Amino acid sequence: DAGVIQSPRHEVTEMGQEVTLRCKPISGHNSLFWYRQTMMRGLELLIYFNNNVPIDDSGMPEDRFSAKMPNASFSTLKIQPSEPRDSAVYFCASRSERTRANEKLFFGSGTQLSVL
């Protein structure tokens, strides 16, 4: 398996622009997570999907952030409008809740977002 695939790897945009981050989880994994990592706040959970349904979005910072999972193999995280304080590395991660090894979270390579 190719692992969790995220795109783009790097994104540089100007304040006020819309940003869309993409994620393809590992095939067969039914849980998907979006995390944000910054020096100040570390790894923060933004949103959690189970079987394509958003279960917990309490970590989404504000209404400018939205996430979707239209099917089991694709998820997006959108920021509109983007602000400089959104600059961070955004990780997508997936896990299977159906196996005994369901404690293991697999992370994608991340998207380094810079908002100027």
Partner 1 sequence: GQSLEQPSEVTAVEGAIVQINCTYQTSGFYGLSWYQQHDGGAPTFLSYNALDGLEETGRFSSFLSRSDSYGYLLLQELQMKDSASYFCAVRNDYKLSFGAGTTVTVRA
List of residues contacting partner 1 (CB under 8 A)? 31, 33, 42-43, 45, 48, 50, 55-56, 91, 97, 103-110
Q: Give CA–CA dist 82/32, Å, rounded.
A: 23
- How far apart CA 102 and CA 40 sit, in angstroms, is 29
Q: Please give the single-letter amino acid code of residue 65.
A: F
| Cβ-based nearer residue to partner 1, 40 or 63 | 40
Which residue number, 50 or 81, has a Cβ lying nearer to partner 1?
50
User: Shortest distance, CB of residue 15 to partner 1, whole angstroms?
Assistant: 25
Nearer Cβ to partner 1 (12/55): 55
Q: Which residues of 83-105 are buried (b: 16+ CB within 10 A; e: fewer)?
A: eeebbbebbbbbbbeeeeeeeee
Tell me how far, at minimum, the Cβ of 21 lies from partner 1, in Å. Answer: 14
